[in-house]
Structure 1
Amino acid sequence: MPKTASKAPAKPASKTAPKPVAAKATAKGDHVFLIDGSSYIFRAYHALPPLNRKSDGLQVNAVLGFCNMLWKLLRDMPEDNRPTHLAIVFDKSEITFRNKLYPDYKAHRPPAPDDLIPQFALIREAVRAFELPCLEQVGFEADDLIATYARLASERGATTTIVSSDKDLMQLVNDKVVMYDTMKDRRIGRDEVIEKFGVPPEKVVEVQALAGDSTDNVPGVPGIGIKTAAQLIIEYGDLDQLLFRAGEIKQPKRREALLENAEKARISRQLVLLDDKVDLEVPLDDLAVNEPDSRRLIAFLKAMEFTTLTRRVADYAQIDPANVDADPGNKSGASVFSPLPPSDVTPAPGDAPASAAAPLPKAKPTGARDDKNSSRKGTPATLAEARGEAIRKIGFDRKAYQAIGSLDQLNAFIARVPDTGYVAIEAMSESIDPMQGELAGLALALAPNVACYVPLGHRQAGGGAGLFDAGLAPGQIKTAEALAALRPLLESVGIQKVGFDVKFTSVMLAQHGITLRNIDDAQLMSYALDAGRGSHALEALAERWFGHAVVNYGGLVGSGKGKLTFDQVTIDKASEYAAESADVILRLWRVLKPRLVAERMTTVYETLERPLVSVLARMERRGISIDRQVLSRLSGDFAQTAARVEAEIQEIAGEPVNVGSPKQIGDIIFGKMGLPGGSKTKTGAWSTTAQVLDELAEQGHEFPKKILEWRQVSKLKSTYTDALPTYVNPQTHRVHTTYALAATTTGRLSSNEPNLQNIPVRTEDGRKIRRAFIATPGHKLVSADYSQIELRLLAEIADVPVLRQAFRDGLDIHAMTASEMFGVPIKDMPSEVRRRAKAINFGIIYGISAFGLANQLGIAREEASAYIKKYFERFPGIRAYMDETKDFCRRNGYVTTLFGRKCYYPDIKASNASVRAFNERAAINARLQGTAADIIRRAMIRVEDALTEKKLSAQMLLQVHDELIFEVPDDEVAATLPVVQKVMQDAPFPAVILSLPLQVDARAANNWDEAH
């Protein structure tokens, strides 16, 4: 029989810990406490030695530490700082949207200690025993929930205290949000954040994006730490401006690091930026607090056998603990407080509730009026919404997916395709390089949950390739037989093949002699509709549109030394992953295709996206030749230069020096030589970053100058002359880059593995590297390049008569601008005056500030401001264009190119001034850069047919922004040049009639540098 509870009165509210009560609307003057539960757990675990519950030996040190910390926090809160709302926030699982953006995110984190894992559920029960809200949501980290609650509280005028010392949360600090470190009893406000990061809270994300985080495996930019990152962000204003102007940075090592790792920095920013717009399952108002049920808490503590803490709580509440029974649920390991099981195990993919999905954009035709007519039944918009709603209601059933292991099964599936007229297809490989990867299998889908995987090249566990496929796992069709059965379907023009980044599948099948015809690409549909509104990765779209978490690829193949390639994954697991991918692709296609019509984006997709897939696939397969001997000689030259510079370094130092040792270099510079400006790192060594050395070199010190020279030439050698030969395909003996169509907001293509759009051209050494890209014997490389296309488009779109006339007259546009601004005759104009005008011309396109122009030209900010003011006075149409573009984007959330492409900038109305300013600059530039990107896309789509019509055999090999590179037989060069030039110049027609002619410079040579 339970003992009789004490009748003693409860303590006054002012002296008891809070508990949740009925929802109370959060308002000005309220104080919200958000406790980072995950941080508390690990601090508690490491703070106490192993402690076992006597009754059953269960390890409970983390539970005790957590309860002690929580009790101390609640008990010691001063009267004037007590919360009106409070919650403890946990990570629901390790898999979030960040893992889908970057599979290696947190991949290096070790698993939780074995003796801690059983304590997770008990800690959650402890929170419930304290009668505090225990918050967690699938797909989000605790930090994202904290960010969202803090934002909501601030918007209502309340203040927030985040109980944590986690540096990732410091980005949230503002005049209404502070952090509190309980271990150090330290308040973290704006000043403390600046002390930690060197920048205010609103810039923390940008510093972290550059510096990275080895704990969470956020890549950042190699070689850039917190201090340097802060200096760069302060100097350039924001990350995007820094990356855009990275080529201007004087320090070679830092410049190359930023140029080569710009995309890593952008991804890192997305990884560290907290999501403060989570669709919360528990409203902020539900976190209102009051006094707890002390007897309930004592019952839990007695069950855990925490004698000392039980006595403290009982004394505080004036309750005799002998009159309270231990909670039987927690004595047996089950909970009597909550009907829901604890959630410490990673949820199965697909278990995410629909409510966790991101809000779905409403399909609405561009320019449609919000009146009765726009909602009339049967319109494209309502049909698109109906289609989307119907598909979203169909759940995912992985058990319905089929692994096909025989020709009979495959033929039976193929026989069903004509009934639908379409099939989703996805090629699976062990490599991201479709030119060298082996075909592991093909996934196919006909309808939701009607999908299969045809494994072709999966290996037995521990098995190699072996003779006669001895290493293959059983239950697979021979690749040749499967492709023979599939060929009529894949090459049929009457059956629609739906893919996702279908170019990869197209290139892989082409390696087997199959031409994939009549294709659609769900990723490119998403890109045409929503460029700039979110990720276009399959995982992200599945979650956004269907609230569905697909099988995680990282979890499938693992990480570290034990990481598998896809052909090593067991067939059952591979089939589940691949078939689900095909299923998602088909569903996305059915949702997005009607939106193209409803939102009047069909022309963009059909003329700028879909036709380019096959063009790029052919370009990727062609590749380009490189002269290994040229690269080898350059490597030798660079090695000799490095050796010579190293000898000079030794001589200046007067002692043997390991030039690659920052510690030795620092000791010589700041110790032996006593040069000024030295500072030490956390390890106690002198800092010898590129910025430190560059500043010393500018002061005339020879030793740091030589160190910089050595580092620069060593970087060219390792990154380019040594690395490029490793990309040569052993079968074709050429280098094959991979192009991404859905990579930028503006429609520009990107090049990867290797990135051939980023080969340095500004230095003589850099141009030498381009000389290694050569034509095959009997051929020439032709480079055809749009001349100043974005300035021409500025003159066109902004309607600037003076600029238009200058282009029509073929004048030097920069000299003309200088003449207009500074009153200097064009003839015999000083080069410095022209250089300043050129900087302004191009800077205006990218929204350059007076600060930026001053840095670029090395002049005072006041002088730079006067230049910009005068420029706008002389060319008023440009200011009007910029203001009009910003206003349009603020109203609509996007800007359009001349060809109808929408470039979304949803943060153009952000409260953060830096974010807002960046989006304004990006929107202004997007109309120009996006239109230029559309023009060269149109040229690429047309040029092959034009060459064929003239019976010319030139082949397009590369696209580098405004430049196309062809390989042309020697005897066809003269005939090819005018054809290519005409196609590129006429590319806008007939969709857009430009009043200004486009100029295309085309040259032929034996290598890329000479042709450019």
Structure 2
Amino acid sequence: MTETFGKGHHLHLIDGSAFIFRAYHALPPLTRRSDGLPIGAVAGFCNMLWKYIQDGSGPNEPTHVAVVFDHSSKTFRNEIYPLYKANRPEPPQDLRPQFPLTREATRAFNIACIETEGFEADDIMASLACQARDAGGRVTIISSDKDLMQLVGNGVEMMDPIKNKPIGPDEVREKFGVAPDRVIDVQALAGDSVDNVPGAPGIGIKTAAQLIEEFGDLETLLARAGEIKQPKRRQTLIDNADLIRISKRLVELDCRMDLDFGLDSLTMRAPDPDALLEFLTRMEFRTLTTRVAERFGAEAPVVSDQPVLAAAVAELPPIDRSRYETIRDEAALIAWVAEIAEKGVLAIDTETTGLDEMRADLVGISLSTGPGRAAYIPLAHVSEGMAGDLFGGPVLAEGQMPLERALALLKPVLEDDAVLKIGQNIKYDYKILARLGVHMAPIDDTMLMSYALNAGTHNHGMDELAERYLGHKCIPIKDLIGSGKSQIGFAQVPVDKASEYAAEDAEVTWRLWHRLRPELSRSKVATAYELLERPMVGVLAGMETTGIRIDADHLRRMSAAFAQKMAQLEDEIHGLAGGRFNIGSPKQLGEILFDRMGLAGGKQGKTGAYSTSAEVLEDLAAEGNDLPARVLDWRAISKLKSTYTDALPLHVNPDTGRVHTSYSIAGAQTGRLASTDPNLQNIPVRTDEGRRIREAFVAGPGMRIVSLDYSQIELRILAHVASIPALKQAFHDGIDIHAMTASQMFGVAVEGMDPMIRRRAKAINFGVIYGISGFGLARNLRIPRAEAQSFIDTYFERFPEIRAYMDRTVAEAKQDGYVRTLFGRRINTPGINQNGPAAGGARRAAINAPIQGAAADIIRRAMIRMPEAIRDLPAKMLLQVHDELVFEVEETAVDALIDAARQVMESAAEPAIRLDVPLVVDAGQGANWAEAH
């Protein structure tokens, strides 16, 4: 009979989600030999559990234990604050299929495995900890998560599994400046950028702790905020009191969850050797299987050899930072330049004052010519604690070369065609040096090599690549510059520390190049890298440096008009609602729609709040309800105002008077470019407001904006890859493809066709590329699901080649783990062999990837050829927006530019691929982007 949990018992709660992510990031990628399933995180997780079991004896030995996981669903906190954790990126694609396997692993180790829909692991651990504490037992939470520190005390302690150190009240006070029972108040004030907890703007942990210590608790502080002497801080607390209270609800853990099990069910149990060995063998964990078998005196099952980890680079010595040099004078730099010229390969990295390549100043340059050969050239570090010069500027630290002289010595070798320059995201360094008159060529980029090899499986930042491929952990940048309000610029970092950090970056880049370069050929992506990735660096650098003019006054007028429109909509909404309420509050809106107005379709979350997502409002509006329709209008105008008309003027570079976006080459899995800071690719084009925003992008004096856009490029590629005779003929004949599809499907004449029938065919034409379902088409067309499914069935009957293409592509993806575009781009398809809801998404992505990827490849090929094609014209390529290229050209050369650019774009697939259908490019020109499109 199980003994009731109480005094003398000790509960261990293991933060399973933290274990998973630590295992994932600590180990290089690993796949199961038999089927290619990613298992690196599972392997690390199992090793951590095995170590935990082996180390479990002694005074800290548990009597009860559970591993607690986060559930994949949204939690009650999203009902309180919809933006909660909105900034969190999606888990890596290769980690997602490993989540269920870690649960299975926990059960194989005979440990209680717990997760609850609608609640985070922290809430479950909080509830169990409080139950155990109230029953008189001890609790140890095995985690370093700061959010759990509010539980410490009165029999509850934490154990940092990384440092293997206990976390008690003293450690909590050291971190938060207050005792554990006031941690919630401090977190509510300081907020949390990681979880998107708003807090009070401008108040960090240190200030929050001081305020709580002074006033005792959060409510007292907010009630007496008027007593605070600092005006800005006082007003911040007064203005944001409601937001701070919401933040407290977000950070406070739920200690009273209604769990469907008791503490007695968490009794510590020894693993069942047979069950554990069966799981480890199935996962093909050879070493751990042998260890477990030896521990239990069992015969180890036979496990096939594991693949060699990608991190193995046995021929190179380990990184030794003590060998790095700091180049402080001409003689040393001249010697390095000679070595670079002799070796013919140089890894280079720049250190700057910021992330904006158009505004950042150069602080130093690091160089590496091979393993153990790396150096840093400090150029603009400032002396710590020194008074400014006569003009109030900082004083440069001693032992640095003049910037101009260093660049003069480096310029010949950096521009030497016989010396290959390697960088990690080298576009950044390319632009920094180009602004200083140094134009690097030729170049190689380890980030883009990783992208060509592993798009969609993991990120391509240097720190992650170093751990994955070199088994090396780089010095974290925050160790040098700090974080938060105390963060300093790189120029303030002492030269000796900066040298070690920067030189390591250069050597790691060289080693990554040494590791990844041969892999391009082995994986048959070298051609794609050489033709589609590497040449984009210089092309995009030129576009980004040129930038585009905007009419800030036009945007300000639009902002004012949007504000008036929003006010008008607010009046309409309040009139329809029968009273004023906060339109931006989902909770209040839900109460108006479903409680006061009694509309059907309200769905309440665990907190009782109704969902008011765009999907819900669109359904209500489609039923003829005015209030949700007006709210949708209000939200759309609000987003345009905050994202574009208010924000774009802030991005104008004071030196150039232009907006300079930045394109990510290694962003989307399919090869599509991503535009950031600001994002100029998502401006609506089908709405009047979106077109008016495009009016703000203007040509300079005597210039015109020209836009060239591929016409239905993805449908044309589908016609080619699926070999659909009817579609191919229609494209050759130049007829209306959507009308032709409608005619084929519904047996109606093209002439005089009902526009609604054409619209339905258009929705299917574009939807099928993305693997649209009957449910999705029904929502798009606002028709019954059965009718929508009937349309899709008819579509495949008329065009059986599309179904054959889909089945063929999915089969290839399942077999190979990836698909390829017409031009050799490899697009990985993680999750394609899994079961459950995610499988459908993986299947649709695999079907779409060769089509969207080929379209992305074609416009890349056009962009790469464009600079040479328009070299003699007074024109510049400014923007790429998916299938569209935007130029600025002198008025007298508009026609010449259109002719030249159209020729390049329409022939971009050749000679690599001769498509069965013609590529057609539409062109327009005007004083602004809206007129040109």
TM-score when scaled to structure 2? Answer: 0.70
Question: Could you tell me which residue of structure 1 aligns to residue 908 of structure 2?
Answer: 987
Specify the alignment match of 2:842 in structure 1: 919
Instruction: Find the counterpart in structure 2 of residue 518 from structure 1.
Output: 442
Aligned residue in 2 for 1:628 = 552
Report the counterpart of residue 795 of structure 1 in structure 2: 719
**Contact kept in structure 2, 1:150 and 1:160, CA below 8 Å:** no
3-state SS of the aligned residue for 2:719?
Answer: helix
* Alignment match of 2:112 (pick from 161, 169, 177): 161
Give the corresponding residue for 1:439.
Answer: 362
Unaligned runs of 5+ residues in structure 2 are 29-51, 69-91, 135-189, 200-281, 297-305
Query: Counterpart of 2:148?
Result: none
Q: Name the residue aligned to 1:740.
A: 664
1:776 is matched with: 700
CA distance in 2, matches of 1:16, 1:979: 84
Q: Distance in 1 between matches of 2:567 and 2:903?
A: 49
In the other structure, the counterpart of 2:807 is 883
Alignment check: 8 A CA contact 2:56 2:62 kept: no
Match of 1:381 in 2: none
C-alpha contact 2:11 2:62 (8 A) present in aligned 1: no
* 8 A Cα contact 2:26 2:467, kept in partner: no
Give the one of 800, 816, 820 matched to 1:896: 820
Letter in 1 for 2:9: W
Quick check: 1:576 aligned with 2:500? yes
CA contact under 8 A between 2:875 and 2:888: conserved in structure 1? yes
Aligned equivalent of 1:807, options 727, 731, 745: 731
Displacement of 1:984: 0.6
Residue 104 of structure 2, aligned match among 151, 158, 167: 151
User: 1:161 touches 1:179 (CA, 8 Å); kept in 2?
Assistant: no
The alignment status of 1:998 with 2:922, answered yes or no, reads no
> Aligned in 2, Cα 1:694/1:144: closer, same or farther, shift over 3 Å?
closer
8 Å Cα contact 1:148/1:277 also seen in 2: no
Q: How many residues align?
A: 734
Match for residue 423 of structure 2? Answer: 499
Residues 1:928 and 2:851 aligned together: yes
Encode CA deviations 1:642-695: one digit per residue, 9 max, x unaligned.
Answer: 233344456667777666667776787778778787888899988766666666
Q: Aligned partner of 2:353: which letter?
A: E
Question: Could you say if the C-alpha distance between residues 442 and 909 of structure 1 is closer, same or farther in structure 2, counting changes exceeding 3 Å?
Answer: same
Cα distance 1:637–1:166, how it changes in 2: closer, same or farther (>3 A)? closer
1:826 deviates by 0.5
What is the alpha-carbon distance in structure 2 between the residues aligned to residue 954 and residue 89 of structure 1? 57
Q: Which amino acid aligns with 1:150?
A: R
Give how far 1:279 is off: 7.7
Cα distance per residue 1:914-950 (max 9 Å; x no partner): 22222221111111111111111111111111222xx
Contact 2:544 2:661 in 1 (8 A): yes
1:865 pairs with one of 770, 789, 792: 789
Measure the CA separation in 1 of the matches of 2:843 and 2:588.
46
1:946-985 aligned within 5 A: 946-948=869-871, 951-985=872-906
Tell which deviates more after alignment, 523-532 or 684-693.
Answer: 684-693
The amino acid across from 2:711 in the alignment is S
Give SS of 1:926's match. Answer: helix
Q: Is contact 1:88–1:127 with CA below 8 Å preserved after alignment? A: no
User: Where do 5+ consecutive residues of structure 1 fail to align?
Assistant: 1-13, 18-66, 75-85, 102-119, 187-213, 224-275, 291-357, 363-384
User: Secondary structure of the residue that 2:528 maps to in structure 1?
Assistant: helix
Moved more, 672-681 or 433-442: 672-681
2:883 partner letter: D
Q: Aligned match of 1:786 in 700, 706, 710?
A: 710
TM-score by structure 1 length? 0.65
Identify the range of structure 1 (158-167 vs 610-619) with the bigger mean alpha-carbon deviation: 158-167
Query: What is the aligned partner in structure 2 of residue 309 from structure 1?
Result: none
Structure 1 counterpart of 2:215: none
1:407 and 1:728 map into 2 onto residues whose CA distance is 38
* Correspondence 1:565-604 to 2 at 5 A: 565-604=489-528
Q: Name the counterpart of 2:174.
A: none
Q: Distance in 2 between matches of 1:450 and 1:412?
A: 13
Partner of 1:418: 341
Whole-angstrom distance in 2 between the partners of 1:975 and 1:70: 87
- Partner secondary structure for residue 427 of structure 1: strand
Matched residues in 2 for 1:621 and 1:896: separation? Answer: 32
Letter in 2 for 1:410: L
Q: Secondary structure at the match of 1:458?
A: coil
CA separation of 1:989 and 1:661: change in aligned 2, threshold 3 A: closer
Q: Where does 1:176-255 land on structure 2 (aligned, <5 Å)?
A: 181=128, 183=130, 218=194
Q: C-alpha separation between the residues in 2 aligned to 1:90 and 1:668? A: 38
Partner of 1:104: none
Does residue 715 of the first structure (1) align with residue 639 of the second (2)?
yes
Q: Aligned partners of 2:288, 2:118: CA distance in 1, in Å?
A: 25
Query: CA 1:443–1:134 in structure 2 vs 1: closer, same or farther (change >3 Å)?
Result: farther
| CA deviation after TM superposition for structure 1 residue 151, in Å | 3.0
Deviations 1:316-360 (A, max 9, x none): xxxxxxxxxxxxxxxxxxxxxxxxxxxxxxxxxxxxxxxxxx976
Give the 3 Å change call, closer, same or farther, for CA 649–1011 of structure 1 in structure 2. same
How far apart, in 2, do the equivalents of 1:844 and 1:666 lie? 34
Q: Secondary structure at the match of 1:965?
A: strand
Classify the secondary structure of the residue corresponding to 1:780: strand
The 5-angstrom pairing of residues 115-126 of structure 1 reads 126=58
CA–CA distance in 1 between the matches of 2:581 and 2:768? 47
For residues 392 and 545 of structure 2, the distance between their equivalents in structure 1, rounded to whole angstroms, comes to 28
Distance 1:565 1:558 in 2: 9
- Matched to 1:798, the amino acid is A
Q: Residue 456 of structure 1 contacts residue 477 of structure 1 at CA under 8 Å; is this kept in 2? A: yes
- Percent of aligned pairs sharing the same letter: 45
Question: Which whole-Å CA distance do the structure 2 matches of 1:430 and 1:281 have between them?
Answer: 47
Quick one: which amino acid aligns to residue 552 of structure 1? P
Cα deviation, 1:680-735, whole Å, max 9, x if unaligned, reads 88999887666666666566565555454444323321211010010111111001
Aligned partners of 1:880 and 1:773: how far apart in 2? 44
* Displacement of 1:882: 0.8
Superimposed CA distance per residue, residues 98-157 of structure 1 (whole angstroms, 9 cap, x where no aligned partner) = 6999xxxxxxxxxxxxxxxxxx9xx98757656999999xxx9x9999975533466x7x
Cα distance in 1 for residues equivalent to 2:618 and 2:821: 41
Other-structure match for 1:397:
320
Q: Using a 3 Å threshold, how does the CA distance of structure 1 residues 625 and 126 change in structure 2: closer, same or farther?
A: farther
Deviations 1:748-791 (A, max 9, x none): 11111111111122311111101111111111111111111111
Structure 1 residues 849-890: Cα deviation after superposition (integer angstroms, max 9, x where no partner): 111111111122222221111111111111111111111111
Pairing of 1:411-560 with structure 2 (within 5 A): 411-461=334-384, 467=391, 470-560=394-484
- Which secondary structure does the structure 2 equivalent of 1:907 belong to? coil
Q: Aligned match of 2:9 in 71, 74, 81?
A: 71
- C-alpha deviation, 1:460, in angstroms: 3.7
Q: Secondary structure at the match of 2:729?
A: helix
**Cα gap change, 1:126/1:483 in structure 2, threshold over 3 Å: closer, same or farther?**
farther
Q: How far is 1:539 from its partner?
A: 1.3
**CA–CA distance in 2 between the matches of 1:936 and 1:95?**
39
3-state SS of 2:877 partner: strand
Q: Report if aligned partners of 1:163, 1:182 keep a CA contact under 8 Å in 2.
A: no
1:309-388, aligned counterparts within 5 Å? Answer: none
In the alignment, the residues of structure 2 paired with residue 161 and residue 435 of structure 1 have an alpha-carbon distance, to the nearest angstrom, of 54
- Asked if residue 729 in structure 1 is aligned to residue 653 in structure 2, the reply is yes
Separation of aligned partners in 2, 1:216 and 1:277: 38
Distance 1:394 1:135, change over 3 A: farther
Structure 2 distance, partners of 1:551, 1:458, is 19
Contact 1:87 1:287 in 2 (8 A): no
